[in-house]
Structure 1
Amino acid sequence: MGFFTDDLGRQTVAQKPNAPILGWALLGAASFLALEEKNRERLRLASSVCLAVWAALEVVTGQSGFRRSAGALTLSWLWRKV
Structure 2
Amino acid sequence: MGFFTDSLGRQTIAQKPNAPILGWALLGAASFAALEEKNRGRLRLASTLCLAVWAVLEVVSGRSGFRRSAGALTLSWLSRKA
Give the TM-score of the pair, scaled to structure 1.
1.00
Alpha-carbon shift at residue 35 of structure 1 (Å): 0.2
Q: Secondary structure, in 3 states, of the residue corresponding to 1:75?
A: helix
- Aligned counterparts of 1:18 and 1:10: Cα–Cα separation in 2: 18
Which residue is 1:13 aligned to?
13
Give the TM-score of the pair, scaled to structure 2.
1.00
Which residue is 1:33 aligned to?
33
- Aligned counterparts of 2:13 and 2:26: Cα–Cα separation in 1: 21
- Aligned counterparts of 2:57 and 2:74: Cα–Cα separation in 1: 11
Which residue is 2:45 aligned to?
45
- Aligned counterparts of 2:78 and 2:38: Cα–Cα separation in 1: 21
Which residue is 2:69 aligned to?
69
Alpha-carbon shift at residue 30 of structure 1 (Å): 0.2
**Ranges of 4+ aligned residues in structure 1 off by more than 6 Å:** none
- Aligned counterparts of 1:40 and 1:25: Cα–Cα separation in 2: 14
Question: Taking every aligned residue pair, what percent have the same amino acid on both sides?
Answer: 87
Question: Which runs of 5 or more residues in structure 1 are unaligned?
Answer: none
- Aligned counterparts of 1:15 and 1:25: Cα–Cα separation in 2: 15
Question: Which runs of 5 or more residues in structure 2 are unaligned?
Answer: none
- The size of the alignment, in residue pairs, is 82
Q: Secondary structure, in 3 states, of the residue corresponding to 2:13?
A: coil
- Aligned counterparts of 2:14 and 2:75: Cα–Cα separation in 1: 19
